[in-house]
Structure formats: C-alpha cells, structure tokens
Structure 1
Amino acid sequence: MLQVLTNPNGFFKKKITEKIEWKNPFIIMAFMAVVGTITIYTTMMSTMQSFMDMDFLGAAGQAIMIGFLIIGSIIGVLFSWILYTGIFYVISVIFHGEGDFKRLMEFVSYGFIPNIAGSLISAYYTSKVFSNIDFASITDPQALQDMMYADPSMKIATALGIIFTLWSANIWIFALQYARNLSLKNAAITVGVPIGLSVLYTILTMFVLR
C-alpha cells in the first residue's frame, strides 16, 4: 500500500485491474479519525487549561470527552472523504470522465495517507502555539487571531500542511486518471482546481495578507 506514496501511477494502474476493496480505505480513514481526535484533544486541552484546572473533570469526564471527540472525528473524516470524492467526480464529468463513484471513493482514500503524518506534525506545532497563549488575559478575538498567526510555529504548521496537501494532490491526480478514465492533463486539472484554490487561500491568509 505504501507504493502509492512513491509511485502512484504504478499503484493505481495495477489497482484498477482488481476488484473494489474497502479494507485498506477504511483502515486509512480510521487512522485519519484517530489523528483528528488527537489533534482536537491536544488543542482543546491547551486552550482550556488557560481558563481552568482540568483535574476537576476526572478520568470519567475526560473519557467521555474523548468519546465525543472520536465520534466527531469519525463523522468529520467520512464527510471529508465523501466531499472530496464528490467534488472530483463532478469536475471530472466536464472531461467526460467514466467510472464508478465507489471506485473513485476507494482510490481517493489513498490520497489521505500523507495527511495522516502531516496532521500529526502540524498538531505538534499548533499545540506549541496554543500553549504559549494566555487565553484568559485576551478579550479581543482579533488580537488573539493576530497573535496566533504571528507565531512562527503556526507558520511552520501551515507550511507543512501545504506540503502534505500537495503530496495528496499528486496521488489524487493518478487516482482520477484511472478511476475516471481521464487523461493525465484532465486529471491534473480536476484535482488542481479545488486543491489549488484551497492552497492559494491558505497562502494568502497566512503569509501574504498578514
């Protein structure tokens, strides 16, 4: 499965000749949900500790909170999976793409693998940002936002997020090429439009307009 990270063309070229299987996609998305839970939990704890002593929750309270975070992460991951697949599917129709939605959904899941590592690394730097902020002493939301964006750790987290997103995009290009029977050029356009706009927005808001 890791071949998809280094040789997505060869991976999907072979994969398209096989039956649709959901084991690996669900494993990937499960890891995504776990990473999402860790990220949100770390961020919440860093923020809430500025306001209160978290010991009052106790083990049971924290377990319940983690349970809700896991459920929320699972829902969020499934939504993202379907959303990305849907966007790619709709855009590929313009290029007369042919291929089953379920096949595309299977292939799209592999593009999330870089995000697993990327989210963990970004979570580390993001937690450093929140741990350095005294939320209790800041009342102006704009001042809080400016302080977060000015932190070098936030810029590092954002830059790493962009790199891993582009890595995912490279995988999705070949996923679209085979799952929707597109030319490499049309597959690149299909993926490049939504991902490119997303990356451009991130760069503008984080590095250019600050």
Structure 2
Amino acid sequence: MTLTQVLTNPNGFFEEKMKTEVEMKNPLLIVLFIAILSAINAAIVTKQIMEILPPEAAAFASIGAIAGAIGAFIGEIIRWVFYAGVFYAISSILGGEGTFKRVLEVVAYGLIPFIASGIIGIIVMATSFSVENFDMQNPELLEQAMLNDPTMKMLAIVGILFTLWSANIWIFGLVHARHLSVKNAAISVLVPVGLYVLYTASKFIGA
C-alpha cells in the first residue's frame, strides 16, 4: 500500500487502511508539507505587495512576508481540522460510525493533490504574478484588482480542480472510515466542498 494508490485507487487504499490502527505520522507530514508550500506562496505574494508600498511602509516588507507565511501555514492546519469536523458532523447525521481521529487521517490523505497545487502556485506566483500596476492606496481596489488578475483567476480554477480531486478521495475515505454508503459519503463531502467551490468561483471567476 503506497501513497500513490490514494490518487489512483482511493477505494482500495482506504479499504486496506481500515485494517490497521489509526496512524497520524504520515497524515501530519502531508498536512505540514502542504502548509509549508502555502506559506511560501503567501510570502511571495505578500513580499511583492509590501515592496511597492510607500517607502515608509516598504521597510516592513520582510515582516509582512513572514506574517503572511505564518498565517497561511496555520490556515492549512485549520482547513484540515475544519474539513474533518464538517465531514464528521454531516456523516454522523447520516448514520456514520467511527472515530473523529480516523476522519482526520482520511482527510489528510485526501489533501495529497494539494501538494501539486501548491507547487504549481509557487511556480506561477514567482514567475508570472506582478502587482506593479495595482492601486496600493485603496485596499478595496487592491482586493478587486487581485480578483480580476488573470494569474489569480487561473490559480483559482486550478484550486477548484484539485479540490474536486480531493473530494473524490474523501468520498471513498468516508465510505470506509465512517461505514457509509457511497451516496451518503458523497453527501457528507460534496455539501461543504460544493459550497466552497461555488464561493471561489463567484469570487474569482465571476469577478
């Protein structure tokens, strides 16, 4: 049983995984690696923004980049626990059985596609993204400019695609971790994921 099976055969992977005790070492490593990628991505963006601010503010570019990186790192850990909590709650309503710790394990494995997403994000933001033409005097205009930026829109679409890939993995994970039918597992996953996708699409793609 290898991690690549999560991507190619999630049903078989989780079927075998449920025969063993809950193990959190690999899930934690997966989440921490994704968090590091997210932190690097945030640092790149924040540093670019801070560097074109007025001179008195630009001095804080490094501090801003560090703060952005820390926020992004913590955000990924929160996302992991949040998704697990929502999946656990909805699946409980649908008659799911099994521990929350097992759901945490499953959700972490389902985040593996975000490793590729994070790497793509870093490459794109480091080579193609620029804030030189943004209006830095008005925060509202800055936010709107970022939402309308072609690079940000492309990354939003990439993020949606990888989220849907993760959702497919999570469905099979919940089938085994919570002893659910595929239908109920899909409801448990697709309700929150669907809301997230719709929100992201309306924010970036519809901007």
- Give the structure-1-normalised TM-score: 0.85
Q: Kindly report which structure 2 residues correspond to 1:121-136, keeping only aligned pairs within 5 A, or say none.
A: 121-126=120-125, 131-135=130-134
Please say if residues 42 and 65 of structure 2, whose CA atoms lie closer than 8 Å, have aligned partners that are also in contact. Answer: no
Structure 1 gap segments, 5+ residues each? none
From 35, 38, 56, the counterpart of 1:36: 38
Please say if residues 41 and 69 of structure 2, whose CA atoms lie closer than 8 Å, have aligned partners that are also in contact. Answer: no
Q: Kindly report which structure 2 residues correspond to 1:10-29, keeping only aligned pairs within 5 A, or say none.
A: 10-29=12-31
Aligned Cα RMSD in Å?
A: 2.7
1:114 aligns with 113
State the aligned residue count: 204
Please say if residues 49 and 131 of structure 2, whose CA atoms lie closer than 8 Å, have aligned partners that are also in contact. Answer: no
List per-residue Cα deviations over 1:43-74 (Å, max 9, x = no partner). Answer: 111111112499967xxx959964x6665444
Please say if residues 125 and 154 of structure 1, whose CA atoms lie closer than 8 Å, have aligned partners that are also in contact. Answer: no
Q: Kindly report which structure 2 residues correspond to 1:1-210, keeping only aligned pairs within 5 A, or say none.
A: 1-51=3-53, 52=55, 66=66, 71-126=70-125, 131-135=130-134, 137-208=135-206, 210=207
List per-residue Cα deviations over 1:121-161 (Å, max 9, x = no partner). Answer: 234434567524345x5423343233223222121111101
Residues 44 and 169 from structure 1, CA distance in 2 versus in 1: closer, same or farther, beyond 3 angstroms?
A: same
Instruction: Give the AA of the match of 2:147.
Output: Y
Please say if residues 31 and 116 of structure 1, whose CA atoms lie closer than 8 Å, have aligned partners that are also in contact. Answer: yes
List per-residue Cα deviations over 1:155-192 (Å, max 9, x = no partner). Answer: 11111010011011111101111110000011001100
Please say if residues 114 and 168 of structure 1, whose CA atoms lie closer than 8 Å, have aligned partners that are also in contact. Answer: yes
Q: Secondary structure at the match of 1:20?
A: coil
> Following the alignment from structure 1 to structure 2, what is the Cα–Cα distance between the partners of residues 201 and 102?
28
Q: Secondary structure at the match of 1:97?
A: coil
| Identity, % of aligned positions | 44
Instruction: Give the AA of the match of 1:33.
Output: A
Instruction: Give the AA of the match of 2:8.
Output: T
Residues 71 and 140 from structure 1, CA distance in 2 versus in 1: closer, same or farther, beyond 3 angstroms?
A: closer
Q: Secondary structure at the match of 2:97?
A: coil
Q: Which moved more, 1:41-50 or 1:145-154?
A: 145-154
Q: Which moved more, 1:32-41 or 1:69-78?
A: 69-78
Residues 165 and 107 from structure 1, CA distance in 2 versus in 1: closer, same or farther, beyond 3 angstroms?
A: same
